[in-house]
Amino acid sequence: MNALRIYAIFLRQFYLNRRSVGRIFGFFYWTTLDLLLWGLIMIYISRLGTSNFAFAAVILGTIILWNFLTRIQHGITVSFLEDTWTRNFINLFSSPLTLAEYATGLVLTSLTTALISVIFMAGLAWFLFAYNIFQYGFMLLPLITILFVFGWALGLFTTAIILRLGPSSEILAWSIPALLGPISGVFYPISTLPVVVQKIAAFIPVSHVFEGMRQVVLTGSFDAGRLILAGVLSFVFFLAAYWFLVRSYRRVLRLGLFIRFMTD
């Protein structure tokens, strides 16, 4: 892997975002909307006073971390789509750039954009709702790492699918994480789900992350075994997604599909 070529991919996205009001606006728009919507719902629920459950602590934390995951995934996929929309693959892959360097460049881009979004969101949550995401202390570090690795996996998987099916399948970039939300108990305990879906949720790393987060708020402790399982699952998903991306790329080369990216 060549660090300069990875930097070139990062730089391409940096140039693109730096002076684009629309793209910069996109980093903050959905996160702000999500936070406002859920924050106000939390205020409403807490005023009802029907439960001692710390809704705000759970839901606002969930919203911030869920946004981190989706920003990571979107960051990778949207950067890839930028090269699709500008028909840049022939130029990129006729240079010494390798697939691994390209993917790493996208991951770095997504990390940067996700951190910008989430730091902004955390600041806004503190300012508007006096909610401090850092109350979880060092526990936040493994949670974020797991979400980060799983976000990579989702981003690379979505990218591989678009490579396989062509740019017209870009809707998957938005719908895959949206599908995960309801079935992995992000906003509610997994026990709420039908038994069959609970079994599926057990294999999705984020379900353990958010279940664990709720446990911290409720009991003040965290199941380390659950954390390790989520970490291992994330890593396995990441390896599988990268393997699928390599397979999809080889298929593109075998079938000459780069030309499809000029016409689809």
Partner 1 sequence: MFSEKVLAVKNLVKSYHGIRAVDGISFGVAAGEIVGLLGPNGAGKTSTINMILGLLEPDAGEISVFGKNFKTHRSEILSKVSFAAVYAQLPGNLWVEQNLRIFAILYGIPNPKEKVQLLMQEFELTQFARSKTAFLSSGEQSRLNLAKAMLNDPKLILLDEPTASVDPSTSEILRSRILEYARANQSGILWTSHDMYEIEAVCHRVLFISHGKILLEGDPKKLPAEYGKKNLEELFITVAREPLTLSHEP
**Residues at the site binding partner 1, with contacts judged by CB under 8 A:** 2, 4-5, 7-8, 11-12, 15-16, 82-83, 86-88, 90-98, 250, 253-256, 258, 262
The least CB distance from residue 257 to partner 1, in Å, is 9
Whether the Cβ atoms of residue 175 and residue 256 lie closer than 8 Å to each other: no
For 179, half-sphere exposure in the C-beta direction (CA atoms, 13 angstrom radius) is 11
Tell which residue, 71, 47, 170, has the closest CA to residue 119: 71
The C-alpha atoms of residue 3 and residue 101 are separated, in whole angstroms, by 8
Give the nearest distance from C-beta 28 to partner 1 in angstroms: 21
Find the shortest distance in angstroms from Cβ 258 to partner 1.
Answer: 5
Compute CA distances 239 → 80, 149, 201, whole Å: 19, 10, 19
Least distance between partner 1 and beta carbon 16 (Å): 6
Asked whether 152 and 240 are in contact (CB, 8 A), the reply is: no
